[in-house]
Chains A and B, each alone.
Chain A
Amino acid sequence: NAGVTQTPKFQVLKTGQSMTLQCAQDMNHNSMYWYRQDPGMGLRLIYYSASEGTTDKGEVPNGYNVSRLNKREFSLRLESAAPSQTSVYFCASSGTGRGTEAFFGQGTRLTVV
């Protein structure tokens, strides 16, 4: 039982390049999320998907797009990477209702040069 799996684990991009971060969960969760983690700022929500077929903006959506491919998979795309997008990206998933927790992947460390 892998939980939440993110690929790749590390990536270096040049300014202006594009890439897609992949996330898959095997816990049959309805909701999935993308966060970015920056020093001194905690984790900030980029986009989330409450259920298959829906996506919504979080706190810091600019420069990103997402796709909820199916119930298991939720991808994050950077169309034209900028140095300000250098960060550690975490995908998470959760069930619905009271008492459900969010489970996080191991993260993708992205550097934009």
Chain B
Amino acid sequence: QQQVKQSPQSLIVQKGGISIINCAYENTAFDYFPWYQQFPGKGPALLIAIRPDVSEKKEGRFTISFNKSAKQFSLHIMDSQPGDSATYFCAASILGSARQLTFGSGTQLTVLP
């Protein structure tokens, strides 16, 4: 049972373009929605995260948009750069004593120079 569905599986954009990755969740108890970035041979690293009490969060070129009623959230990468080429995972968890993350299936982003 996949509680967090992510699309697309792969994405190719030109340098300077906008990359958009979408996720949808089922469990309305989720209250923390992070995005992780993973480079080959490395572990995932937190990129940006949002809580359901806000609809948007921006950090530099990265923005999360959150739609609580639709149970969807998305990552926008503005002015995409070749160095952004990586696999991106959305995730969700329930606030508690442990941060048990439920991950999406991942999006492999390639930014062409």
Residues of A at under 8 Å CB distance from B? 4, 30-31, 33, 35, 40-45, 48-51, 58-59, 90, 92, 94, 96, 98, 100-107
Quick check: A51 and B6 within 8 Å, CB to CB?
Answer: no
**Given A40-B9, A42-B106, A43-B89: A50 touches B45 (CB 8 Å cut-off):** no
Quick check: A41 and B105 within 8 Å, CB to CB?
Answer: yes
B interface size (C-beta, 8 A): 25
Nearest 3 CB-CB pairs, A to B? A104-B43, A42-B103, A50-B98
Bound-state Cα–Cα, A48 to B96, Å: 13
Give the number of A-B contacts (CB < 8 Å). 68
- CB-CB under 8 A from B6, the residues of chain A are 42
Quick check: A44 and B103 within 8 Å, CB to CB?
Answer: yes
Bound-state Cα–Cα, A4 to B46, Å: 14
Bound-state Cα–Cα, A58 to B98, Å: 12
Quick check: A48 and B98 within 8 Å, CB to CB?
Answer: yes
**Given A42-B6, A106-B43: A100 touches B99 (CB 8 Å cut-off):** yes
Bound-state Cα–Cα, A95 to B106, Å: 25
B32-69 residues with Cβ-Cβ distance < 8 A to A are: 34, 36, 41-46, 49
Quick check: B34 and A101 within 8 Å, CB to CB?
Answer: yes
Bound-state Cα–Cα, A64 to B95, Å: 26
Which one, A45, A59, A107, contacts B43 given CB within 8 A?
Answer: A107
Bound-state Cα–Cα, A48 to B93, Å: 13
B12 interfacial by beta-carbon distance below 8 Å: no
Quick check: A102 and B42 within 8 Å, CB to CB?
Answer: no
B24 smallest CB distance to A (angstroms): 14
Quick check: A43 and B97 within 8 Å, CB to CB?
Answer: no
**Given A102-B46, A104-B44: A43 touches B99 (CB 8 Å cut-off):** no
B100 interfacial by beta-carbon distance below 8 Å: yes
Quick check: A43 and B100 within 8 Å, CB to CB?
Answer: no
- CB-CB under 8 A from B9, the residues of chain A are 40
